[in-house]
Amino acid sequence: MRLYLIIVILVFGTACQLAADTGSPGPDRAFSNTDGTFFFFLQPAIFDPDSFLMEHMKREYGMNVIKKRDQCVGTLLKADKERNTYTTVWNAALAENATPDTVMISPDGAHVITLSNSPDAATVVLYDNHGEVVVNYPLSAFLTQAEIEAAPQSISSVNWQGTHSIDRKRNVLLLQVRRIGPDHSNMDSLKPDFRTVTIDLKTGKIIDDGRKS
């Protein structure tokens, strides 16, 4: 019974906590920009209802399994604080093949950036104000293969991220990428060193990779 409850929570839980540029645990996650004018709701891909596990749960427990969703889905909402209402800006299937770890929203809501620690997923994806992909960067766009292999990591993630920000005046994303020396130096997990990669939010082009020549 305890295992059944854990599975139900993992699959169908809807815990959600709104926080500036941070996410909450649970299948559905919510993010906001710094002033709370835009919110982004992230729905991950879900189990195939015809899989063995789902068939077992339907047969044994009479569960009504929701329809399979192959991709993550994102919805950007604009908040009207005076009327306490929300307007959908866009809703779209996301480009990622794994659930992003975090999401950033520009102050004007014109840009949404998803970021992932998974080495097999799109690491940084930039969406425009219609939910269309502007650029889709793998981890190899920011780190060499040797740096990726040397970076702190687990079975399913690479610890490459620092604290990112958006420069509103320059309309750029300032991406903090872990700096890894040729001798695998600067690997102290308590005091990591980062370089700043500058990305143009309109075009998605890398303006500066933060590597000193």
Tell me the per-residue pLDDT of 164-195, one tens digit each, with 9 for 90 and over: 999 999 999 999 998 876 555 555 555 678 89
8 lies in which domain range?
2-208
Q: What is the pTM of this model?
A: 0.74
In a domain, 133, yes or no: yes
Is 158 within a domain? yes
Q: Encode pLDDT of 122-141 as tens digits.
A: 689 999 999 999 999 998 99
Asked whether residue 42 is assigned to any structural domain, the reply reads yes
Residue 213 lies in a domain: no
State the chain's mean pLDDT as an integer: 77
Query: Using one digit for the tens of pLDDT, what is the confidence trace for 22-50?
Result: 333 335 788 999 889 999 998 887 655 55
Q: Give the total number of structural domains in the chain.
A: 1
Q: Over the chain, what HEC string results?
A: CHHHHHHHHHHHCCCCCCEECECCCCCCEEEECCCCCEEEEEECCCCCCCCHHHHHHHHHHCCCCCCCCCCCEEEEEEEECCCCEEEEEEEEECCCCCCCCEEEECCCCCCEEEECCCCCCCCEEEECCCCCEEEEECHHHCCCHHHHHHCCECCCCECCECCCEEECCCCEEEEEEECCCCCCCCCCCCCCCEEEEEEECCCCCEEECCCCC
